[in-house]
Structure 1
Amino acid sequence: MAVVITGLMSFTMVARAQSYTQPFQNQTTTLMGKSVQANMYFVKMGYWRLKTATLNLNFQLSQLSDRQTSDVTVTLNGVAVASFRPQATTGLQTKQLNIPTRLIAGTNNLQVRGQLLNQVDKQRVTVAPTPANWLTIDQRSNVNFEYDIAPAESKINSFYEHFTGTDTIVDQQAVMAIPDQPSQAELTASLYALAGQSRLITTEDEQLPVVQLTDSKVKRAHYQMLIARYHRLPKVVRERIDVKKMQGGALIQTLKLEGHQLLVVTAKTDQLLIKAAKFVANQELMRETSQAAKRVTGGTPTYTSTLQYDGSYQLTPTDDQLTGTDHQEKAYFVSLPTDRTNANGSTIHLKFRYSKNLNFKQSLVTIKVNGQPIGSRRLSVARADNDELTVKLPPNKSLSNAFTIQVGFDLMLPGQDNDRAVSQTPWATVLSGSQAFIKSQPNRDLLFDNYPSTFIKNRTFNHVVVVAPQTMAPADFATLTNLFNLMGNFVQQNTGTIQVYRHQPSRAVLKTSSVIAFGTPAQNNLIKQLNSQLYFQFNRQFTGFRSNEKLSLESRYAQNVGTAQLIRSPYNAQRALLVVTASKPTDVYRASTQINLQRNVQQYRDADAILVDRDNHHFSYRFKKNKALRQTMPVPRLIQTHSQLLLFLAAGLGCFVILGGAVILILRKNGFLKREAKHDAR
């Protein structure tokens, strides 16, 4: 990027050439069958002026496949762009294909389809599907872009688009900067804003850092978001702010300063600063704001739109058509709120139609969940124009909060055999009315399997209190970055509450909140007070950890490790308390690296404590016997949950009343009660 500076602030930007390689998020996958297909997805930023796009496809075919007959076709958004035959090699192959830039949209579906024919001998091939028909697509496949960057305009939505771009994050050209020793309100505002930005970041390994204003990363980053009270902004920034616009409100304003693009979020009061941060955390509002400055008052609507969870999921917004003989399959992803898991009684209702030229004795439709079949039915010519299938998920089938539903069709033609190709093309269409009805229940597990869902409810922060160090070192900002980039991926709304404290909160606050405490005992008095509740406890001098029943710790080694511990809050048994601590801030940061990305957290199954040393050796343990948070139910829910027990109790009580009445009648009939009364009268 070329920058021409005239005077102190004015400059002109021109587009700069860039190259970016975007990996697919698919794992290495093996596809089996005569006709196979795989779907991969990639995105293009709106500010890219594409020059070229190249698919680097890494794959391997069965050693038995006939290279002269087998073929692979690549389609982009439903349009075929290339077909080729594999090379005559048995190892991993790489095929580079140019993708027409005119076909590339914002979000793109790249489909790889193959017809795999096995070689019987030099003269014959077989079309019968066998386990030897396979195509493996390597996870290192990617798309490489060559493009120019259109400069960001002096508009909030233009800055926002560049700031959250995948290439911006990967190239470490975006930072969120706050004062070196931020106030509680400045920290709270930064976490609201960070959660709102991080949910848009699609890169697997990179994060949006929260840093001090004096951090060297600020100077290196082209796009900077500054969050601070007005009087704590750098002087050169304050001079560019029109104070009149801040009367009774906060201000969000773009600036161009010394070759950098800035978005300043500021106010003169704590409440208005947090209000402005909630505006920044609202993706819809930020994309709609086309002016250079936005004034936010106490009455400005900032909450994100909310979708009430009712358990109903539309599999596809548009009809999906599958064509070709034999097995054809389409996958759909279902995502529950992160704090919930599936319950018994879930169903999948599929609406579909298909061609009438099939062999209906052999053609089937099958529904799978995470690759496991849960229901099949033979297709019928009578229902071909409007067919439906409803299947129930097996009782007690455990699923995570995100799973895959696969709809597969076996489309067989009359007279289809292994020796001749069929000219007719069968098809099947999954209709947009298809739905999954997933019953769910809260996930109350207090383990890292369920992190960070333990701090989230209905896709937003569940009254989260963060107790930060009284004096924050650079490593503490990195710890904060790790903790809340991951949480932001799960938090879909800004309607929840989060509050940062630089001192120990009152017991009343701790009792009503899910708490995250990080830092060393010397920095954070709450951690020092919680020491007896921790699984890995500090020694008396708080210079290192003690050995426990799970792990013996040598005294010097124990001074150079960090821990993340998920305990039941001693202030409220229905709440979680996460402690990320060590005797040194750098070791606290090292512990936070184990819970900064979802793939890192997934390593720690059935664990509530993690320990990491400076050689990156990490250990996980489970200490608590009962993993569930205690829960109180509202009376209507309690009655509904225990309705059968209550019916039995009511029936038993009724029988007791009837039996008691019968005994009284018998006694009265035989004169026992009458005699007793006369005796009392005498």
Structure 2
Amino acid sequence: QSAQFTVEFPAGKKLAESCELSLDFRYSSNLDFDKSLVSVCINDVPIGSRMLTREGADNTTEVFTIPPDIEIYGDFQVEIIFDFQAGDEWCRLTPEDTPWAVILDTSMLKLTAVDNMSLSFENFPAPFVRDGSMNNLQIIMPDENKDEDMQVMAGLLLTMGRYLKDNRGSLAVKKVEDAYSAEANRIVIGKLGGENLRDELNLPVSVNSGMAFLRRSAYGEESEAVLTITGEGAGMLHTLNYFGNTERLWEIKGDTFLTDGESLYCYRMTPETDEPAAPEAASESVSQKGPMLLIAISISCLVLLASVMLLIKYGRRESDEK
């Protein structure tokens, strides 16, 4: 017997010390108390079990400590599982004698949350959405919008809207020339300056694929981030398989991914830490391409590897068709 409860938890937060579940319940007394127990899982990860006792059948409380290192990204599930053993006479039980348990509404879930500064897709839509509001977000669009640019922006905003609790916060859409005029979290989509972003970054993406990567901003505060979404031709639309679908967001991990709509390659290119890494210092005369080229150096090798794998897959497919 089991019961599941969904708990709302903000993205961009993590559990702190002293989180616990105080479970009030009662259960039938016709059990084999040498073998019957209650267990608690969070997102299918067990956090503890307790043996049931005859003395606690009428009313009992069990406290389960929630480990602070358990991986929780946004809303999570708590599952209470009762493992009943009725002894050797179980086959003679009438329906009225069937073992049972009741979870009382006086049960309490004590949660303490702290900011999760780790920049990863597991935390998405943080840091762009924070505490249910848009977190000083700028979306940077190409000077000349294509249909795929608008589709990606629309799908992305619809997904992020699912995490909003109010209409506060700041959201602006800007062109490239205004991209770095103020401190903000930024999402860069598609082409920059009329050129394909792949050409700006010199990325070896030679198939119909889309990619996205998260990085600390080289401008403004250390806590600010930049999400870049680009692709070869209409391949950028493949990123909507994840950004445009809340049920598939959990599939993207790390801070860089490449997809052709069928295969997904995820990487972590920067160290995973709770503290934001200090951004590269940028002189006032540096061009807008400068920070992007620095990013390209760090990710080109893995993107090349993923591209080769995709090319091999398509090459084999063509051979099979012949």
TM-score bracket, shorter-length normalisation:
0.7 to 0.9
- Correspondence for 2:224: 575
Secondary structure at the counterpart of residue 497 of structure 1: strand
Secondary structure at the counterpart of residue 521 of structure 1: coil
Partners of 2:240 and 2:88 in 1: how far apart? 59
Contact 2:158 2:244 in 1 (8 A): yes
- Correspondence for 1:603: 251
Task: Report the Cα offset of residue 408 of structure 1.
Answer: 2.6
Task: Report the Cα offset of residue 335 of structure 1.
Answer: 2.9
Q: Which runs of 5+ in 1 are unaligned?
A: 1-327, 529-536, 548-552, 633-682
Partners of 2:35 and 2:231 in 1: how far apart? 64
Contact 1:520 1:588 in 2 (8 A): no
Match of 1:546 among 179, 191, 202: 202
1:630 matched to 2:276: yes
Contact 1:561 1:587 in 2 (8 A): yes
User: 1:146-225, aligned counterparts within 5 Å?
Assistant: none
- Correspondence for 2:39: 366
Secondary structure at the counterpart of residue 80 of structure 2: strand
Contact 1:365 1:407 in 2 (8 A): yes
Partners of 2:39 and 2:236 in 1: how far apart? 50
Match of 2:187 among 475, 493, 516: 516
- Correspondence for 2:24: 351
Residues 423-464 of structure 1, C-alpha deviations (whole Å, 9 max, x = no match): 523432111111211222212221222222221111221111
Partners of 1:397 and 1:617 in 2: how far apart? 28
1:378 matched to 2:27: no
1:353 to 1:483, Cα distance in 2 relative to 1, 3 A = same
- Correspondence for 2:304: none
- Correspondence for 2:65: 392
- Correspondence for 1:486: 159
Partners of 2:108 and 2:41 in 1: how far apart? 14
- Correspondence for 2:267: 621
Contact 2:230 2:236 in 1 (8 A): yes
Partners of 1:391 and 1:591 in 2: how far apart? 39
Partners of 1:592 and 1:350 in 2: how far apart? 40
- Correspondence for 1:203: none
User: 1:140-539, aligned counterparts within 5 Å?
Assistant: 328-369=1-42, 370-381=44-55, 383-394=56-67, 396-413=69-86, 416-417=88-89, 420-422=92-94, 424-505=97-178, 507-509=180-182, 511=183, 513-523=184-194, 538-539=198-199
Task: Report the Cα offset of residue 487 of structure 1.
Answer: 1.0
1:564 matched to 2:238: no
1:562 to 1:508, Cα distance in 2 relative to 1, 3 A = same
Q: Percent identity?
A: 23
Secondary structure at the counterpart of residue 461 of structure 1: strand
TM-score (norm 1): 0.36
- Correspondence for 1:645: none
Task: Report the Cα offset of residue 567 of structure 1.
Answer: 1.5
Task: Report the Cα offset of residue 332 of structure 1.
Answer: 1.7
Q: Which runs of 5+ in 2 are unaligned?
A: 279-322
Contact 1:348 1:435 in 2 (8 A): yes
Partners of 1:410 and 1:391 in 2: how far apart? 17
Secondary structure at the counterpart of residue 150 of structure 2: helix
Task: Report the Cα offset of residue 419 of structure 1.
Answer: 5.0
Residues 539-560 of structure 1, C-alpha deviations (whole Å, 9 max, x = no match): 4xx5xx535xxxxx37xx27x5
Residues 185-231 of structure 1, C-alpha deviations (whole Å, 9 max, x = no match): xxxxxxxxxxxxxxxxxxxxxxxxxxxxxxxxxxxxxxxxxxxxxxx
Partners of 2:85 and 2:257 in 1: how far apart? 53
Equivalenced residues, count: 275
Contact 2:117 2:223 in 1 (8 A): no
Contact 1:347 1:392 in 2 (8 A): yes
Task: Report the Cα offset of residue 349 of structure 1.
Answer: 0.3
Partners of 1:419 and 1:402 in 2: how far apart? 41
What letter is aligned with 2:211?
T
Contact 2:73 2:122 in 1 (8 A): no
Task: Report the Cα offset of residue 493 of structure 1.
Answer: 2.3
Contact 1:467 1:504 in 2 (8 A): no
What letter is aligned with 2:266?
S
**Which fold has the larger relative contact order, with Cα–Cα distance below 8 Å and residues 6 or more apart in sequence?**
2
Contact 2:133 2:168 in 1 (8 A): yes
